[in-house]
Amino acid sequence: MAGAGVPDKLRQAMTETYAYSPETIIKAYSLGVFPMAESRDDPEINFYEPEIRGVLRLTPPHIPRRLLRLVRQKPHRITLDTDFKSVIEACAAPSDTRDDSWINPEIVTLYCALHKMGFAHSVEVWDGDALIGGLYGVRLGRAFFGESMFSRRSNASKIALTHLIARLYYAGYTLLDAQFSNDHLMQFGLEEIPKEIFKARLAEALSAPAAFPSDISEDVALAYLAQVRTDTS
């Protein structure tokens, strides 16, 4: 089911071709729309287009100083696209900070398919062989749409986000969509912008391709972080 504010051309694509498919999801993102379920157990997928959009600054990035200092100490091993399914399943699972999730089994299946197609990507944070944090999202052109993150240790999701931001900055991305605002993301310089401005930035980001920087080493990413302007916290 399409949610309120879904563009007519997306609704037409959904009803005339396929209700839910990887192609539908990609089309939605290209129009500034994203999918969510009401709960983990709800089989329906709704599409949303907020009037106010949360985006994270990439030019230049904004990383809290204490976090940047922690990341430079390399407290954990960082990988990209190594265990996408485990990351999205961890994001969907209950945690100490949330009892439910908007990620239902249909979304897990769709995004795993997007990962195999090269559109969905993950960042993993490891302590030895234990996956302790991570995030996933979708990339189109020079835009990355952050979907969800999880943390099983203090700061693990923040470390994952810092490494994502560093790599996107390195690769020339211009838009990091966070969808909504929260206190966690405000630390990273999140902006709240009207839908019209978001769509203009999205159109610009989609006008040129950019590879997902999964092959950039941790040392290179950390060297780029050294150039990032930080706050005083």
Cβ proximity of 123 and 164 under 8 Å: yes
The low-confidence residues of the chain, meaning pLDDT below 50, are 1-7, 9-18, 230-233
Q: Which CATH architecture has domain 53-99+120-225?
A: 3-Layer(aba) Sandwich (3.40)
Q: State the Cα–Cα distance between residues 161 and 148, nearest whole angstrom.
A: 10
Place of tokens 């693990």: 156
Question: What is this structure's pTM?
Answer: 0.88
The whole-number pLDDT of residue 82 equals 96
Cβ proximity of 222 and 166 under 8 Å: yes
